Structure 1
Amino acid sequence: MNLTSTSTRRHGHTVTEHVLTTPLVHGDTADDRTIDVFAREYVPLGGEDLPALLFLQGGPGHGALRPTAPTREIGGWLGEALKNYRVILLDQRGTGRSTPVDAAVPLPAEYLTHLRADSIVADAELLREALEEKPWSLLGQSFGGFCITTYLSQHPEGVAEAFFTGGLPGLVPIDDVYRATYAKTAVRNERLHAQFPGSAQLIRDICRHLDTHEEFLADGSRLSSRRFRMVGMNLGRTGGFDTLNYLLEDPFHTVGGEKRLRTPFLLHVADEVRFADAPLYAVVHESIYGTDTATNWAASRIGEQTPGFTETIEDADPVYLYGEHIRPWLFDEDPALRPWKDAASELAAKDDWTPLYDSDALAATADNGIRSAAAVYLDDIFVPFELSMETASHIGGLRPHVTNRWEHNGLGVDGATLFRTLRDLARDH
């Protein structure tokens, strides 16, 4: 294990970049493969002795926050956290500068099995030990909260505080997870249609058009109706209804007497449905739920059993936009994902995943002196409320903050308020 660190000044703070060499396969001394894990540490002026807060990004497959500040003030949750902590932004393995995965260089399924939460947590513990940190505080957004749950299960000795934002995973089989997310997404679709009359018919018209006409995105790939429906990810984001309304407000024009989709519409859709910049998100998405049975493309299987979400559009059923639902045809239709098709199929068939959560360890969280709080969003289509609350009941001492003030991306919308709320809640015992 080798750690190198380099410091500079940015945004009025000391910024130290850490690069740690870690095993690719933790706990297997016979496997000598290694990766580099990158983390960027922010220290406010005079804050060298503050406790450390590790931020775990949402995803999977996305690098950590890259702060920018037009002035010398850093805002949002990071600015709030820096009042009381040194903040460490970890690029989870395979993302950012942590031996990143590139869409142009597909990797075998065996390698990808080592990019789950248990390996991310093991990396974080090695980093904590290399930095000679005391047990640190954790802030996890979405998938980052899944990682915190694994951290509390496998390495509670490394944790002083745990803050979840939209990230309490359901401790249930994957099929139940997707039944819940489809139910939540259906509700959000209906709310979109109620708020913007005519949107339901426009979505149906666009899908019918794409089923009978060839329309192409900037990367040269044909846009299918099912791929278009991936824009529904916006249903779970603050401001997402408006984003969808603007997208739908004037999608068609007439060219040579034929109805076609406008170029701006196709460009905006391309931005919403592409995975070239984060292929891991699609490739390993269902793997984050893997237990002792194969995931077997659960999002697709359950979707085809759920009215409104079937790929074939029936006149009698609504046509709902999809949420966070990765289906196998994406690996045929998205050029960036085609080289990953075999690996994704192997991951879907894998039935011997290692456990990520330990119910006894979670129950002992408060007994271990760990303070914790979680923002749980009532309308969350990505991490359903009911499953999150059930998990909250299993984490000893965790204090949930139930709200519909924010959507799933609340940390990015009003992060200072949200972080301050969770910190005060966790400490108010």
Structure 2
Amino acid sequence: MNTDEHVFDGAATITRFGHTLRPITLTRPLNCAEGTQEEIDVFARLVTPRGGDDLPVVIKLQGGPGFPAPRPVEASGWLATLLERYRVLLLDQRGTGNSTRFDPSSPHVVGASASQLAGKLCGLRADAIVDDCEAFRDYLGLDTVSLFGQSYGGFIATTYMSLYPQSVDKVYLTGGLPAINVHVDDVYRATYAKLRQRHREFYRRIPWAEDRVREICHHLDHSDERLPDNSRLSSRRFRTIGVALGRCSGIDNLAWLLEQPFHTTGGEKRMTTAFLDSVGAAVSFAAAPLYAVVHESIYGGNVPGATAWSAERIRREVPGFEEDADPRNRSEPFYLTGEHIYPWLFEEDPSLRAFAAAADILAAKDDWSRLYNEDNLAASRATGAAAVYVDDVFVPMDHSLATADVMRDMRPWITNRFQHDGIGKDGAGIVGKLIHDVDEMV
């Protein structure tokens, strides 16, 4: 790890909702392991409660990949609960937010060849994010830090315990215990199976939804409907709205979205502007292109070999998810898809086109380093607790429990009360439960 960081306070420290918010930016090498001379900024915001200057620090590791830390507008939910005993470091993971964001207009993207861009993207992996966390720990003069990881943030936390087992004190995970010795194909087999189960529940609860989904997809196969960015909405792209089913309010949100998609104009059946606006917001990766670009690569190194567009390959095995499934064939199931990323998205979504060739290189890469070390996980000094959701369509429960068994001191809390985004529904209750469980072990 490069320890010669340069520190910039790019914005003033402010006090909001009774707490101090201090911005910190460290200059870091882009490819930590490769010793490159290229550098990026990595940004974090330290939230300190009144009178809490000497409290320990917990790093909030955001879900994703490819999303920045939340920008708090009040101290509530999980943040309020953590601030009762911690200072909270909200990290913008490299490539996101104020941490040298990677998007089609980024200097790191514009003008780069496909191989150059792929090399840079390799420098955004969990091991590099962990090294950034270590740099912040060192900058703040701390012997150890605690971790709060939601979803992909839990994957990063597990990498942190694997690489620096003596640097981590306590760990709180929500929907974020990763599969550590499982081929990406098997991960996606499990997520498709969970999504199929959730989809059947959707069709049961909203009796007209299946007919509406089939009608929309048949229409899109034979019509040129345009989203607000003027890209064509294909049926296969529309089907990606099924990602909402992995969220607590997903069934209801999808039902309201599908309620009134059509009107007749000039005697022709067309989609309404309101519907296209809502679908456009749901299917576009403009806000977080990295989510799509590096999504499969987070599983690279679990076992040897390339990920090779696994989600696209595995969908062909599961009836109802096939790309060419016929919405008119009522004898066969027909489902929306989930968080899975497909190569054709890089053609159809304008915000992803600049990354298309580099994404292909990442999909073919077969020499990924391992992100998880079982020996270190078993020996880590950290004590932890994890909310494991029974019906999680993003991070399957069985894989999470297998990983918890490897860790020296990780207590799973298995619950069917929430979907993957449970902390958005009851962040204070979930984090409070995890803190209680960890306190019992200490």
Normalising by structure 1, what TM-score? 0.96
Name the residue aligned to 1:178.
Answer: 188
Aligned position for 2:56: 51
Question: 1:188-207 alignment to 2 at 5 Å?
Answer: 188-207=198-217
1:41 equivalent in alignment to 2:46:
yes
Amino acid corresponding to residue 159 of structure 1 in structure 2: V
- Aligned match of 1:268: 278
- The AA in structure 2 aligned to 1:117 is A
Q: Is 1:3 aligned to 2:1, yes or no?
A: no
Structure 2 CA distance for partners of 1:104 and 1:304, relative to 1, 3 Å: farther
Tell me which residue corresponds to 1:391.
Answer: 403
> Are 1:321 and 2:336 an aligned pair?
yes
Find the aligned partners of 1:255 and 1:213 in 2 and give their Cα distance: 14
Q: Which residue of 1 aligns with 2:354?
A: 339
1:144 aligned residue (139, 148, 153): 153
Task: Report the Cα distance in structure 2 between the residues aligned to 1:410 and 1:378, rounded to whole angstroms.
Answer: 12
Is residue 154–residue 177 contact of structure 2 (8 Å, CA) maintained in 1?
yes
**1:168 aligned onto 2:173:** no
Q: Which residue in the other structure is 1:62 paired with?
A: 67
User: Could you list the per-position Cα deviations for residues 301-348 of structure 1 after superposition, in whole angstroms to 9, with x for gaps in the alignment?
Assistant: 001221111111231321111111100010111111112110111110
Summarize deviations over 1:67-98 as a string: whole Å, max 9, x none.
013xxxx1110011111101100000000111
**Is 1:116 paired with 2:125?**
yes
Which one-letter code corresponds to 2:364 in the other structure? A
Q: Deviations over 1:356-387 (max 9, x none)?
A: 0001111123xx2x110000001100001111
Task: Tell whether 2:41 aligns with 1:26.
Answer: no
Give how far 1:4 is off.
3.1
2:141 to 122, 132, 137: 132
Partners in 2 of 1:2 and 1:218 — Cα distance?
42
Q: 1:137 Cα deviation (Å)?
A: 0.7
Aligned position for 2:250? 240
CA contact (8 A) 1:18 1:40 kept: yes
Question: What's the CA shift for 1:103?
Answer: 2.8
Q: Distance in 1 between matches of 2:228 and 2:15?
A: 40
- Aligned partner of 2:77 in structure 1 is 76
Would you say 1:230 and 2:236 are equivalent positions? Answer: no
1:168 touches 1:392 (CA, 8 Å); kept in 2?
A: yes
Residue of structure 1 in register with 2:19 after alignment: 13
Partner of 1:259: 269
1:351 corresponds to which residue?
Answer: 366
TM-score by length of 2: 0.93
CA root-mean-square deviation: 1.1
2: CA distance between counterparts of 1:142 and 1:103?
25
Say whether the 8 Å CA contact 1:103–1:276 is kept in structure 2: no
Identity %: 51
Among candidates 162, 165, 182, match of residue 153 of structure 1? 162
Contact 1:103 1:277 in 2 (8 A): no
- Contact 1:379–1:385 (Cα < 8 Å) also in 2: yes
Query: 5+ residue gaps in structure 1?
Result: none
Residue number among 282, 290, 293 corresponding to 1:280 in the alignment: 290
Residues in 2 aligned to 1:27 and 1:230: alpha-carbon distance in whole angstroms: 35
List structure 1 segments (4+ residues) > 6 angstroms apart after TM superposition: none
The answer for the alignment partner of 2:102 in structure 1 is 101
**1:296 and 2:308 correspond:** yes
- Distance in 1 (CA, whole Å) between partners of 2:135 and 2:402 is 31
C-alpha distance in structure 2 between counterparts of 1:393 and 1:161, whole Å:
17
> Which of 218, 230, 243 is 1:220 aligned to?
230
Aligned residues: 421
In structure 2, the residue corresponding to 1:202 is in which secondary structure?
A: helix
Give, in whole Å, the separation in 2 of the partners of 1:118 and 1:8. Answer: 31
Deviations 1:20-60 (A, max 9, x none): 1111122444x222111111001111111111111000000
CA drift of 1:136 comes to: 0.9
Q: Which amino acid aligns with 2:224?
A: E
CA contact (8 A) 1:56 1:90 kept: yes
